[in-house]
Homo-oligomer: A and B are copies of this chain.
Amino acid sequence: MTLTRKGQATRERILEAATALIAQNGVAGTSTEDVRKAAGISGSQLYHYFDSKQALIRAVITRQAEAPLIPGQPLMGALDSFDALRAWADAAIESQEHNNGRGDCTLATLAGELNPADEQTREDLCNAFQRWQALLHDGLKAMRERGDLHATADLDELALALLTALQGGTLLSQTLRTTQPMRAAMNAALAYIQTFAT
């Protein structure tokens, strides 16, 4: 579907409203009627852009995949040095501090709510995770090429260590409402990468 500039703005307004509501109430607690009201549009308008709740959720996932790796943070530069990775980890911890476990519409939350039988949505989530993994992988690759990391370092594994730390840290920090889990998860992932330093 090709959208006019006005159409794109409306679509974006719907997605913003949906993302905020999901952050507040979860996927199950968010109806398309809630989204319609929050976006201030008619039912037929909503239907024009998203013909089902699933279509809307899938678009929220795709939008989140393009968002910065850490909610509330500006898009960070290349994560291609130990300093840059430490700054990224600190931003993730700080984000949990401000967030206080609320109002985050993260891929971790969306993945946790995934109905195992919903194969299309699962594929969207896979694509989103893999997009983030690729960003992390690119930075690690630059570090290896520069000679900061051993030639034997498994970059896929190290990128996944950072990504699982972000997801596990988010999940536990949101539930326990402290930054400690995110801090522990990030420290562990960075320590692991450090073991491959030259």
A185 within 8 A of B: yes
Chain A interface secondary structure, helix, strand, loop or mixed?
A: helix
Among candidates B26, B101, B126, B181, residue contacting A113 with C-beta atoms closer than 8 Å: B26
User: What is the distance, in angstroms, from A155's C-beta to the closest C-beta of chain B?
Assistant: 11
A109 within 8 A of B: yes
Q: Once the chains bind, are B114 and A175 in contact (CB under 8 Å)?
A: yes
Residues in B with CB closer than 8 Å to A23 are: 116
Residues in B with CB closer than 8 Å to A189 are: 188
Given A157-B180, A175-B114; A168-B185 close (CB under 8 Å): yes
Q: How many copies are assembled? A: 2
Q: Once the chains bind, are A175 and B111 in contact (CB under 8 Å)?
A: yes
Among candidates B101, B165, B192, residue contacting A168 with C-beta atoms closer than 8 Å: B165
> Which residue of B is nearest A27, CB measured?
B28
Residues in B with CB closer than 8 Å to A183 are: 157, 160
A1 within 8 A of B: no
Given A112-B111, A115-B26, A191-B192; A158-B184 close (CB under 8 Å): yes
Q: Once the chains bind, are B112 and A113 in contact (CB under 8 Å)?
A: yes
A11 within 8 A of B: no
Given A116-B24, A184-B157, A189-B188; A169-B175 close (CB under 8 Å): no
